[in-house]
Structure formats: structure tokens, C-alpha cells
């Protein structure tokens, strides 16, 4: 049974209702926490796919459920429902919750998954940091994805950040200094570092011409990085199979257009050039360290692949 902690409406703990018995169980102490928030970037729908795979494949027990009414702007992000002839059904209620899961070997871990809050970021951050400290979480990892001018024919890249050098060195393929729009995950990382907690964030690089569609291959890479950091065996078989099918469809579409083949070849050449040596420049920067025009990097690919394939 979920129970809301009593206190002031401004109290961070009032943002969520918790499973009191489980929340205070010793078995939840010292676990690793994985976080994934939908609503920010999410190129290739990586976070959406990872959250769904973990919650659908593993036994998930809610530990705490956050109050969507306090955190979401319904008019800017309207939930969906279904109109069936003369009645409404299947309302898709926004959900942001902390779960206790067990991996393929029965090892427990925590998952904070759901929508990115529109409102009260700092209060939400205080609530999450409080939970992390109460449960004495060992390591917090979180993931999101961004579109990059990289070819799908090369390994999926990742940028790692946080306060765990052992999880960053030798893994990050892009180490820029650049101002970026903040996500709630960034705020949580900053506040967790300030609180002296271990945290690592993973940014998966998705080919920009595949950013608007589900790209299972990138989700598999994300699960692999999260699993390696947390020593968890995370499920990925269904996503791997879906990735093979998507890869086949991409190959068919690219083979059908010489223009697209040329654009992908240029991306491959650029990727391989930047991959040489031990010091890597930003894949986003040109020879003058300026961001390239997205049109120059593959508008032809994006337009072609975005078009629905007849007969599919």
C-alpha cells in the first residue's frame, strides 16, 4: 500500500507516496539506482525503450510513486486516451515512479523511470537526493540520448559524465566544452554530486537521421553501458531482435538511393577520421571547430528514411 508522507506541501517528501513497508526494508539499502526520464531529447526513443524493456521483462515492485499533478504541465504535454464509438477508455496516466527490480541473476536494483517533470525541478531533486541518502544508494546511473552526425554503420558512441573517473576514462568518445539545454537528470546529477553521492550519466549518440524513430540498437548499447557500470545483467534480447529488423530495413532503403549512400559514406569517412589516434575532436565540429549545418550532414538521409516505405 502506498502512503504519502505527512508534512508541509513544500516538503520534498510530499511529492511522492511510498510503499512504507518496502521503503524501510533493509533489503533496499545499498542498491544501485538507474534513472531514465522521457520528454527531453530521447533521440531514437532510447530512454522510452529501455524503461519499457526493464519494466516489461523484470518483476517490478513500486517503492514510491510521484504525484504527477504537482510535476507535469498537462496543457503542454497532454496525456492520450482512446475514444471508442460512444465512450472513452484507456487513459494513459502520466507516471513517474521508483521501482525495485531484480536482474537476470536475481540481483536487486532500483529504477526511477517515467516522465521528466515540467515543474518544481529543485524540489524534485531534493526529494530524489533524500531517497538516495535514506536508502544509501551505492551508485546512481542515468541515461539519455542525443542526435549526432554519425553513421549507423559504426559502433554506437557514448559520452559519460559524473564523479566516477573509473566509469568515464576510456569510454567517452566526445569530450566537448559546450553549453547545452538542461534536463532534470542534469540537475539531479549536480545535486547528487554536491551531496557526495556516486553518480554517472550516459549520453547515447544516435545517428541524426534516425533520431525521430525507434532505434533499438542504441537502446541495446545503453543497456550494456548501464549493466557494465552497475554489474547487472539487464535484458536486451527483444531489443536486439528488433534492432536486426530495423537494420535490415535501413539497409534496404539506403541501397535503393545513391544519394543516400553518398551521404552515409561521408559520415563514415568523417567518423573514421575523428576516431584515429588517442585524442578525439568533437564529431560535431568542423575543421574550424564550428558546428556544422545539419542540412550539410545528411538532410537527404533524414528525408529519405523518414518517408514511409510503401508496402511495409
Side-chain half-sphere CA neighbours of 151 within 13 A: 20
Q: What is the pLDDT of residue 286?
A: 45
Q: What is the pLDDT of residue 296?
A: 43
Domain extents for the chain? 2-236
pLDDT tens per residue, range 75-107: 999 999 999 999 999 999 999 999 999 999 999
Q: What is the pLDDT of residue 171?
A: 86
Q: Residue 135: left (phi > 0), alpha (psi -120 to 50), or beta?
A: alpha
Coil vs helix vs strand at 41:
coil
Q: Model's pTM, two decimal places?
A: 0.85
Q: What is the pLDDT of residue 1?
A: 62
- Contacts of residue 200, defined as CB under 8 A and 6 or more positions apart, other chains included, come to 139, 140, 141, 142, 160, 161, 162, 163, 164, 167, 168, 229
Side-chain half-sphere CA neighbours of 77 within 13 A: 17
- Under CATH, to which class is 2-236 assigned? alpha beta
Q: What is the pLDDT of residue 273?
A: 86
Low-confidence ranges of the chain (pLDDT < 50): 276-301, 303-305, 307-312
Q: What is the pLDDT of residue 4?
A: 59
Amino acid at each position: 500500500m502506498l502512503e504519502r508522507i505527512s508534512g508541509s506541501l513544500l516538503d520534498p517528501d510530499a511529492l511522492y507516496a511510498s510503499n512504507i513497508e518496502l521503503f524501510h526494508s533493509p533489503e533496499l539499502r545499498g542498491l544501485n539506482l538507474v534513472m531514465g526520464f522521457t520528454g527531453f531529447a530521447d533521440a531514437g526513443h532510447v530512454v522510452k525503450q529501455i524503461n519499457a524493456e526493464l519494466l516489461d521483462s523484470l518483476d517490478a515492485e513500486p517503492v514510491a510513486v510521484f504525484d504527477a499533478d504537482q510535476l507535469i504541465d498537462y496543457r503542454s504535454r497532454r496525456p492520450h486516451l482512446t475514444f471508442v464509438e460512444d465512450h472513452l477508455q484507456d487513459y494513459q496516466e502520466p507516471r513517474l515512479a521508483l521501482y525495485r527490480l531484480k536482474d537476470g541473476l536475481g540481483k536487486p536494483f532500483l529504477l526511477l523511470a517515467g516522465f521528466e517533470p515540467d515543474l518544481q525541478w529543485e524540489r524534485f531533486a531534493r526529494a530524489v537526493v533524500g531517497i538516495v541518502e535514506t536508502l544509501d544508494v551505492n551508485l546512481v546511473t542515468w541515461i539519455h540520448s542525443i542526435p549526432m552526425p554519425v553513421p549507423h554503420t559504426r559502433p554506437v558512441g557514448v559520452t559519460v559524465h559524473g564523479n566516477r573517473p573509473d566509469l568515464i576514462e576510456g569510454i567517452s568518445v566526445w569530450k566537448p566544452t559546450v553549453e547545452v539545454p538542461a534536463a532534470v537528470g542534469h540537475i539531479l546529477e549536480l545535486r547528487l554530486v554536491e551531496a557526495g553521492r556516486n553518480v554517472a550519466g550516459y549520453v547515447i549518440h544516435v545517428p541524426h537521421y534516425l533520431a525521430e524513430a525507434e532505434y533499438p540498437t542504441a537502446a541495446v548499447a545503453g543497456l550494456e553501458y548501464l549493466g557494465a557500470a552497475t554489474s547487472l545483467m539487464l535484458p536486451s534480447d527483444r531489443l536486439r531482435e528488433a534492432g536486426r529488423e530495423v537494420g535490415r530495413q535501413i539497409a534496404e532503403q539506403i541501397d535503393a538511393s545513391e544519394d543516400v549512400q553518398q551521404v552515409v559514406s561521408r559520415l563514415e569517412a568523417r567518423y573514421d577520421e575523428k576516431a584515429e589516434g588517442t585524442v578525439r575532436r568533437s564529431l560535431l565540429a568542423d575543421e574550424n571547430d564550428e558546428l556544422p549545418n545539419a542540412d550539410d550532414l545528411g538532410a537527404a538521409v533524414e528525408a529519405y528514411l523518414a518517408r514511409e516505405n510503401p508496402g511495409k
